[in-house]
Structure formats: structure tokens, C-alpha cells
Amino acid sequence: MAPVESLLSWGPLGGLAGDLGLDLGRTVIVTDPRIRKLHGADFPPCPVIEVERGEAAKSLAGLEGLWAAFLEAEVDRTWTVLAIGGGSVSDLAGFAAATWLRGVDFGIVPTTLLSMVDASVGGKNGIDFKGLKNLLGTFSKPRFVRFDPTLLDSLPDADFASGMAEVIKHGVLEGGDHFALLEASCPDRRAMDAAVLEQVVRRSVAYKAGVSLRDPREAGERRLLNLGHTIGHGIEAVTGLGHGYCVAAGLGSALGLAAGRPGANPAARKRILALLASWGLPTGLAEAAALARQAGLARQAGLAGGPGLSDPKAFREAVLSAVASDKKRAADKVHFVLPLDLGRVEIQALALDELSAFIREAP
């Protein structure tokens, strides 16, 4: 398998086929209707399969539908599946490609900031199951990832901010000049210079690609990339808020859980929370619930219609129930990523009782 860095390509979507030598007669594109409408004119001239937008695509029904489309298109082991879209498209298409005929090549053109810095890099693909995030999936690297930062020009501001949550997470993990770069970048994406934006994306991609190369199957260092995700995935399962917003809330919560522990740096915590807030991202459970309530979102049956989101106890118990089903749980403990300082993050096996007590009371 090629090193992660050799899979990465930078350039316009319209030049992808020629630059990467795609066999257009044996390539099928997987995308969603909005991305096709926005960027379809630059797609390579290949068959196109449309899937649902957003997290709804990542289901057993979505996977079965994509397999059926592969069968109809007569996709065999000589073909390439090309995912063009956000993280949900690449997660679904990557999983489908990895399991079709025991694996066919696939490539990704991420069209959102979140998918550029997170979903497209690292070779993890998956779908949701029983309301739980990425419970079914594979480790399978794409043959290539093509980055075109100009695709972000059409991205709504809220989606851009969602992607910044993962960017900030990487800055926290690496610390140093990486985090300083993010602090110096303008929090108004419309005023951000294109060169600065590309630098931010490249730095984030390079960090995650490096970690993924050193630990491809999440046996050690790569577990640090789960920073903000344990509580964040619980919030996402309950509220339906965008992934990045939930990661931001989970990161803010993790900072609160780390506070007062040996080595925890209050000044670093303040800087991280300030950077999250500057992008309009929630920094804890209460803020996430308020955003979901404003948007009229609720996923859990017990919160249907939103009234439960107004009840802090019901909301936190629902999040706690989702966290208890987290993939990182082992018996009565959860492998939790604690941010102690910029560039210094630790994984600790926390008792579920301790984590539960925190979630019930945390800001």
C-alpha cells in the first residue's frame, strides 16, 4: 500500500482525469444532487450515481442502493469508484468500494472543509447503524485524494465553520506554530485570503495524513484523533447537529474534564475555547443543546419535536446513553482523549461512572 502522502494530489477538479490518468470507461462517480448541480460541469465524463445528502446517506439502505447501482453499471475489479462530495459521500462510497467484489479502487474529491481535513484522509470508511455513528466500516485507503480548495467557495458559512472544528482539533493536537497559524487566520472565512486558506488546509491534511501513516489501524497514536469525539458523537446522535459543531462541543467538554488534572494548562484551555467561539462553534453541552433547539433538531425518539432539548436532564441522559455505546468503550471504562495543553494530549481509561457524572453536570 502506498504511503498516505503519495495518495494526495492538489489541483482543479476539472483537470483530475488527465492528471491522475483515470480510465474514464471504467470509472463511476458517486455524488449527491447538490454537488452535482454545483460542480457537475467539471466532472469527468463518467457514469454518475447520486446518493442522499448528508448523514442520511450513511445507512444500510444507502449502502444496498449503491451496491445495486454498481451491479447495474457492471462495475468489476478493474474499475475505480470516484467519490465527489462531503464526508458522508466519501464514507459511504469508500465502504461500498471496499466491500464490492472484496474491494475495488476508489478515489475521493472532497468538496467540504470537513471532508478535506478529516473524512478523506486516513482510510477509514463507514456507515451509521441503529443511530450510532460509523459503527460499521472498514480500514481501506483510497487510491488518491484530490484537493481543490476553490470548491470551498460555494460552501455555506455554517458548513465551513463545522470543518474548522476538525482543523482546530488538529491544531490542538500538534500545538506550536500550527495552532498559532489558526489563531492568526481571520475567523471571517469571506475575508480569509485564498493563500492562507490553502495553507490552513494543507497543514491540517499533512498532520492527519502523517498520523494515519504511522498508525493506519488506530492501534496507538491515531486514537488521539478522537479528541472531542466521544462526547461529540453522543451529542450528534441525540441532536442531529453537524459533525464539526458536535466535535467542538465535545472538545470544549474534554477541556473541562481535563481541567485541574496534573499538567493541565489553564491558559491553553482559554486560547482553545476562544478560537472555537470565534468561529461560532459551541464549547460545551449546553451551547450544543441551545443550537439544536434553535434549529428545531432532535434525533432520539424521546426528544422528538424538540421539547426534550429544553430539559437539560433529559438531554444529558440521552447523550450519556449514546456515549455508553461508543466504539471506544471497554467494559466499564471509556478510552477518553484528554487535552492537557497545546501539543500535549493523553488517552486515559476513564470509568464510565466518572464520565457519566461529568456529562450530567458539565457546562
User: Catalytic residue positions?
Assistant: 102, 124, 166, 208, 218, 222, 226, 229, 233, 243
| 315 burial type by CB count under 10 A (0-12 exposed, 13-18 middle, 19+ buried) | buried
The three grid cell numbers given for residue 88, joined into one nine-digit string: 458522508
Pairing of strands 344-351, 333-341: antiparallel
For 298, the 3-state DSSP assignment is: coil
Q: Report the b/e string of 45-83 with b at 16+ CB within 10 A.
A: ebebbbbbbbbebbbeebbebbeebbeeeebeeebbbbb
The alpha carbon torsion through 339, 341, 344, 346 (nearest 10 deg) reads -30
What distance in Å separates the CA atoms of residue 259 and residue 269, rounded to the nearest whole number?
8
* Bridge partner list, 64: none
Comparing C-alpha atoms, which of 112, 147, 108 is closest to residue 124? 108
Q: Are 239 and 298 within 8 A, CB to CB? A: yes
Q: Are 258 and 264 within 8 A, CB to CB? A: yes
Pairing of strands 8-10, 144-147: parallel
The one-letter amino acid at 289: A
Beta strand spans in the chain (E): 8-10, 27-31, 48-50, 80-85, 105-110, 124-129, 132-139, 144-147, 329-330, 333-341, 344-351
The three grid cell numbers given for residue 138, joined into one nine-digit string: 472498514
The one-letter amino acid at 316: R
Comparing C-alpha atoms, which of 282, 232, 259 is closest to residue 340? 259
What distance in Å separates the CA atoms of residue 363 and residue 350, rounded to the nearest whole number?
19
